[in-house]
Structure 1
Amino acid sequence: ERDLHDSVQPRLVSLAMTIGLAQTKLDSDLPTAKALIAEAHDVAQLHQSAFRVVVRGIAPTILSDRGLDAALSSVVQRAANSGVPTTLSVHLPHR
């Protein structure tokens, strides 16, 4: 939830403001409106990947597809790939 608020929400607000500005320019300054729409499109494309990362963090596909062990191992691997030394040790009681 915090990642949505901190990363996605400001980007969506900025995108909405750019589109709103383009809307106000449609009748008076078409070239500027077109440029703003192109900018908004580029920004939306750019931020799609960030949004996907946040959404995957909420409910990672690997968790439902391959289970908790694979999901946790994936988190550890991503941390290791980014230079954060990480280990995972899980000890669960047998049922």
Structure 2
Amino acid sequence: MQLNPDCKEEYKKRHDEIWPDLVDVLKTHGGSNYSIFLHEQTHQLFGYVEIENEQQWQKVAQTEACQKWWAFMGDIMATNPDNSPQSIELTSVFYLP
């Protein structure tokens, strides 16, 4: 994902104050150990979340709480026409269980 320049503090503030209903949605859809990291020179964001089930997790995007969050975050990061964050899939090149 891509954060707009000079929006680090606002991005962090919004996540420090994440809405309880969104937290509930993430957890009830099987998400845990969710972290987001910022590469400060490129403003790229990397999200990591452990999920119970891929199909269950994909349904998060359809919830009202998630769609409202996307709209709320749209002014500080690159988004798609549906307000979802622009993102790319990364290819796993190493895993140590």
Measured against the shorter chain, the TM-score band is under 0.3
Considering only CA atoms, is the larger Rg found in Structure 1 or Structure 2?
1
Higher percent of residues as strand: 2
The TM-score, its normalising length taken from structure 2, stands at: 0.27
The TM-score, its normalising length taken from structure 1, stands at: 0.27
Higher percent of residues as helix: 1
